[in-house]
A and B are shown apart, each in its own frame.
Chain A
Amino acid sequence: MMIPLIFGITLITFAVVHLAPGGPVEVETEMQIKASAQARENLKKLYGLDKPLHVQYVDWLKRFATLDFGKSFVDGREVIKKIAERIPVTLTINILSLLLILATAIPIGILSATKRYSLFDKLSTIFVFVGFSTPAFWLALLLMILFGVNLGILPISGIQSIDVSEMGRMDRLLDWAKHLVLPVGISAFGGIAGLSRYSRSSMLEVIRQDYIRTARAKGLDESDVILKHAFRNALMPVVTILGLSVPGLIGGGVIFETIFAIPGMGQLFYSSAMSRDYPTIMGILVIGAVLTLIGNLLADISYALVDPRIRRAGR
């Protein structure tokens, strides 16, 4: 299932990137009006852009099979290396914010489902609507003004201070944490709003079921009923949504990484797109899509882990 998907993704990506007018040669020679037609042809040959498109695609696919994304048009370095040095930062931020989402959204959702129409439920409903509608980069700006400019307690850009090499290990960790608080918090913000709503409605659905009534009828503690009997069943739709939210997290990185000047995949992508660096654009799009597919696969697997029915149906 995943192989044809990846194939389709590479095909579309390739078509979109290469069919668009304005190639790297045009960008490079834009500044030099005198660049002769001959010079342009040479550049094209160098990049392999003189061949027909389908040949270029097959070439690219062959190299992709060996995980070779070619060399960047901009600085001639291996694309895979450029991406590899950016991935850790982006993944760290995404994983931390996913954990933050899980740790806050699910309790909020369950609490507002079990205490439906309470003050807490109403407040969290308002939070959800506002959370869905807030441009995250704007929130980032406001928090930077508040914590960075006015209170001066958090740094507003980068992932480490300039003097980081002179710090002890604990200070270095603290410095790193300070730099990550805002990016992680803000990229989790929208996710918390969405996921807490989903866990609320799936909990409400579960609480109505007969087996919950049975559990109550046999005299179980309410907390046992909720946490043991209802919780696992309510978790299933939540897991699916989480898997589907991976592309959003990866894509959203572009704006955060630009605002906070974090050297991650998003920033690399932005600069490559600006300079028409085809191999790097292709590499990031495909890796992003593969990460998304892995996210979906993990969601499917954990789905089976929480739901014994699916495990049995698979056999």
Chain B
Amino acid sequence: MNIPSIVFRRFSRNRLSLAALLVVFSIITLALLAGIVSPRDPMAIDVHNVLSPPTWAHPFGTDELGRDVLSRMIWGSRVSLKVGFIAVGLAILLGTIIGSVAGFYGGKTDALLMRFVDIMLAFPTFFLILAVIAILEPSIYTIMAVIGFTGWMDVARLVRAEFLTLRERDFVVAAKAMGAGNLRIMFKHILPNALAPVFVAATFGVAGAILTESGLSFLGLGVQPPNPSWGNILTAGKDNIEVAWWLSLFPGLAILVTVLSYNLVGEGLRDALDPRLWERESSATRDKRKTPKVSTID
């Protein structure tokens, strides 16, 4: 059995995570097909139907310009996904490179890089993000870059820790004896073995990035109106808090469900990738008895 399918078998044992994975896929599908599934034009203004509560025509109501909230939410999901994936991709890339170098070379390089990590961790991240975005033009690209540049530290620490244990292993010594260069050893031999915790961190990272983006858009620093995002619909919700509860309720619920799903998938992935639980598994692969459920986040 190849490794991905073993991981998937282990993953699907946790029903909750599996359900969460389905939710994640449906949201991605919804975002990709926004042009087809969205019932109305998200930008169409209807002055006769301003701030209408949920009705059959507008299941989630309309906003202060009479635009359909459901359609705006469907289009807005694209923003969350784009920001989540690209920002986290950047963070993973940076974190992996810095963590690999620190863990592989050790000594002064390691000490210097880890001090840099300490400094970055000491910042109130949200302040820093806010400063940069306020100073640059607010746009989702700025947000992606800034979340990426302020979110790589955990990954760097994880990768470094893996490298520290892996670099003493026999297969690394063997590769060195065969004359492999440092870069080749780092990225071809060690890195693939260090990736499991990175995948898990990436999943949690997407959840965090979606939360941050919605907060920034809420403050008016993210996606600029009239383009919809979950965060800026909530801004309208705040402005009309006395009259239009639906503007606050639904977009927030969408954020909650999405973020919760990514977190649950991350949990399931962590258990599925945990090598300590693996060895027991492989000896009992054909055992049809139900293995005791592995508890989540201990």
Which A positions have Cβ atoms within 8 angstroms of B? Answer: 4-5, 8-9, 12-13, 16-17, 20-22, 117, 125, 128-130, 132-135, 137-139, 141-142, 144-145, 148-149, 156, 197, 200-201, 204, 244, 247-248, 250-252, 254-255, 258-259, 269-270, 273-274, 276, 281, 284-285, 288-289, 292-293, 296
**B130 cross-chain contacts in A, Cβ below 8 A:** 254, 269-270, 273
Q: Is B256 an interface residue (CB 8 A)?
A: yes
**B134 cross-chain contacts in A, Cβ below 8 A:** 270, 273-274, 276
Q: A16-B128, A133-B263, A204-B298 are in contact. Are A142 and B135 (CB under 8 A)?
A: no
Partner of B260, one of A130, A142, A148: A130
- In Å, the complex CA distance between A3 and B295 comes to 43
Q: A145-B245, A292-B124 are in contact. Are A285 and B234 (CB under 8 A)?
A: no
CB closest chain-A residue, reference B297: A197
Chain B 211-239, CB within 8 Å of chain A: the 1/0 string? 10011001100000000000000100110
Q: Is B3 an interface residue (CB 8 A)?
A: no
Supply 11 further A-B pairs (C-beta < 8 A) apart from A250-B124, A269-B127: A8-B119, A17-B135, A133-B211, A135-B211, A138-B255, A139-B252, A145-B241, A252-B126, A255-B219, A259-B238, A284-B127
The reply to whether B219 and A254 contact each other, CB–CB distance below 8 Å, is yes
Chain B 130-146, CB within 8 Å of chain A: the 1/0 string? 11101110000000000
Q: A134-B256, A137-B234, A138-B256 are in contact. Are A149 and B242 (CB under 8 A)?
A: yes
Chain B nearest Cβ from A313, distance in angstroms? 20
**A133 cross-chain contacts in B, Cβ below 8 A:** 207, 211, 256, 259-260, 263
Q: Is B123 an interface residue (CB 8 A)?
A: yes
The reply to whether B241 and A156 contact each other, CB–CB distance below 8 Å, is yes
**B245 cross-chain contacts in A, Cβ below 8 A:** 145
**B124 cross-chain contacts in A, Cβ below 8 A:** 247-248, 250-251, 285, 288-289, 292
The reply to whether B215 and A255 contact each other, CB–CB distance below 8 Å, is yes
The reply to whether A281 and B131 contact each other, CB–CB distance below 8 Å, is yes
The reply to whether B123 and A201 contact each other, CB–CB distance below 8 Å, is no
Chain A nearest Cβ from B104, distance in angstroms? 23
Q: A141-B237, A145-B245, A250-B127 are in contact. Are A9 and B256 (CB under 8 A)?
A: no
- In Å, the complex CA distance between A254 and B221 comes to 12
Chain B nearest Cβ from A130, distance in angstroms? 7
**B119 cross-chain contacts in A, Cβ below 8 A:** 5, 8-9, 12
| A-B contact list, 9 entries, CB within 8 Å | A21-B135, A133-B260, A135-B211, A135-B256, A138-B251, A145-B241, A255-B218, A273-B130, A285-B124
Partner of A20, one of B126, B136, B241: B136
B-side interface residues, number (CB < 8 Å): 45
Q: Is B87 an interface residue (CB 8 A)?
A: no
The reply to whether B127 and A138 contact each other, CB–CB distance below 8 Å, is no
- In Å, the complex CA distance between A134 and B214 comes to 11
Q: A145-B245, A293-B122 are in contact. Are A129 and B256 (CB under 8 A)?
A: no
Q: Is B125 an interface residue (CB 8 A)?
A: yes
The reply to whether B219 and A129 contact each other, CB–CB distance below 8 Å, is no
CB closest chain-A residue, reference B218: A137
Chain B 112-128, CB within 8 Å of chain A: the 1/0 string? 00011011111111111
- In Å, the complex CA distance between A259 and B215 comes to 11
CB closest chain-A residue, reference B136: A20
Chain B nearest Cβ from A54, distance in angstroms? 19
Chain B nearest Cβ from A251, distance in angstroms? 3
Q: A125-B296, A138-B256, A296-B122 are in contact. Are A145 and B248 (CB under 8 A)?
A: yes
Partner of B241, one of A129, A135, A144, A250: A144
